Amino acid sequence: MFRRVKNRPLRYLIITVYCVVLFTCAVQLNFLWLFGYSPTRKDILMPTLNVASELYTADSVLIGRYFDEDRDPIPFDSISSDVINALIATEDIRFYKHHGVDFLGLASGIVSTLKGDQRGASTITQQLAKNLFKTRYSHSQGYLSKIPGLRILVTKYKEWMTAYKLESKYSKKEIITMYLNTVSFSNNAFGIKSASLRYFNKLPSQLNTNESALLVGMLKGTTIYNPIRNPKNALQRRNVVLSQMQKAGFLSSDEVAQLAQDSLKLDLGYHAKVDANDSYLRSAVYRWLDKWSQDNEIDINKAGLKIYTTIDSRMQKIAEEVVAKKMKELQRRLENTWSGTEPWRDKEGNVIPDFLENQARKLPIYQSLMQRFNNNEDSVFQELRKKKEMEVFTWDGMKKVNYSTMDSLKHYVMMLNTGMMAMNPYSGEIKVWVGGINHHFFKFDHVNQG
């Protein structure tokens, strides 16, 4: 058939096009399971995001979240223009000029790599395809992925095709919004809103240039450029993003020089505040919803539900403050009365023998040490009595101490605990739920389990 075309260059061109079309069809159909799964039309039209569910009081105060990935998608208009500019300048300067795959950028990337300046050539749309459809995960790979060199070739080709599909169905604004709602920013923050709240305690629309540059800079490596774990690296990377914004014309050299002098100025208060809210209640609601979620085949951690309780946030706040004030006073009385002695006693007032040791035998570390020391309990307790620096919970805040595991166990066993629940007697609505003094250290819920 091809020999009928007399013009040799034209014949080679037709053969090349034919092979590309044939290869594309084979990849799309996953011919003989060689190429792995490719996103379908339905997948492109209805991409799936794992969205956190939120728990509210009756008066609409957020008191907790349930998630595998802490994600809360937002629209384009709710994202600072500085974030958009920083992203385009750093990740895909020709974003508005290509249709999913930037062959000019790809060629430039190859040349730069050959010169020793290694940089990626994936467009924002390609990265979105990778994030949305997990194209590099094992479940998306076919038999050809077992052949060295072919896996990345097939994967890249599928990402190109998926990028073209995305560009044909969505506008540039929609693509960049989906991208910013899907990327990971480490510390279990997925999407720009979760990241903005986690690192700066503000909404994405309120982010300034430096904050935007820091978050976009993290995308190159969320571990190495994590501002909490590696602030120096994060600061250097942020300044690189500022320089890229200058090259793209979004900032002047004077603005970059001034902004580069700024510190990171993180504000980690938002999640500390949310996590401190009544987690006993969050756990109780989660247990209550467990059967409902199974019956309805809904994963609470991914469904993006808004869950409203009958709790009154004002009454809850008062109850927590009263419990904290009273329990602090009672704890002081206990320590004054029993200081230097052991309060665990039987009805006759005798100290219960091996009380702490029996408590220690319930700890996971005890089982681990028993395996390590071949069930030699003397060696286990010798290890448990070795002192080390640690922090323990007290009513005056976290306290640094030089305790052994047994000392720490004694400290927590000596802590008094309580529970409180208030109900409207006419309707049965629960208005207050305080399961204990601190859910992080004491998981037992004195309302639900006591």
Beta strands 70-71 and 189-190, pairing class: parallel
* H or E element in which residue 45 lies: helix 41-45
Contact by Cβ (8 Å): 437, 323: yes
Tens digit of each residue's pLDDT (9 = 90 or more) over 218-275: 999 888 999 998 999 999 999 999 999 999 999 999 999 999 999 999 998 776 555 5
Q: Which of 51, 216, 206 is nearest to 127 (CA)?
A: 216
Cα 329 from Cα 449, distance rounded (Å): 25
The confidence score (pLDDT) of residue 447 equals 93
* Dihedral sign from CA coordinates of 366, 370, 375, 379: negative
The confidence score (pLDDT) of residue 52 equals 84
Q: Which of 113, 158, 165 is nearest to 134 (CA)?
A: 158
Q: What tokens does 435 get? A: 């399961």
Q: What tokens does 142 get? A: 């076919």
Q: Which of 21, 133, 54, 22 is nearest to 309 (CA)?
A: 54
The confidence score (pLDDT) of residue 245 equals 95
The pLDDT of residue 113 is above 60: no
- Mean per-residue pLDDT over the chain, rounded: 84
The confidence score (pLDDT) of residue 374 equals 93
Residue 38: pLDDT band by 50, 70, 90 thresholds? Answer: low
Summarize the confidence of residues 115-120 as an average pLDDT. Answer: 52
Percent of the chain with pLDDT over 70: 79
∠ at Cα 117 (114, 118), nearest 5°? Answer: 80
* Total length of the chain: 450
CA distances from 360 to 393, 394, 404, 434 (A): 18, 21, 12, 27
Q: Is 66 helix (H, G, I), strand (E, B) or coil?
A: strand
* Dihedral sign from CA coordinates of 224, 230, 232, 237: positive
∠ at Cα 54 (48, 55), nearest 5°? Answer: 155
Contact by Cβ (8 Å): 202, 212: no
Contact by Cβ (8 Å): 216, 84: no
Q: Is 420 helix (H, G, I), strand (E, B) or coil?
A: strand
Summarize the confidence of residues 93-120 as an average pLDDT. Answer: 70
Cα 69 from Cα 191, distance rounded (Å): 9
Residue 435: pLDDT band by 50, 70, 90 thresholds? Answer: very high
* Residue 438, C-beta contacts closer than 8 angstroms, at least 6 positions apart: 393
Cα 359 from Cα 414, distance rounded (Å): 12
Task: Look at the domain 69-274 and name its fold.
Answer: Penicillin binding protein transpeptidase fold (1.10.3810)
Tens digit of each residue's pLDDT (9 = 90 or more) over 52-72: 888 999 999 988 888 877 788
The confidence score (pLDDT) of residue 277 equals 47
Tens digit of each residue's pLDDT (9 = 90 or more) over 305-358: 999 999 999 999 999 999 999 999 999 999 899 888 888 999 998 999 999 999
CB neighbours of residue 303 within 10 Å: 15
Beta strands 53-56 and 306-308, pairing class: parallel
Q: Where in the chain is the domain with CATH 1.10.3810.10?
A: 69-274
CA distances from 237 to 195, 217, 218, 244, 252 (A): 17, 6, 8, 11, 18
The pLDDT of residue 1 is above 80: no
The pLDDT of residue 168 is above 90: no
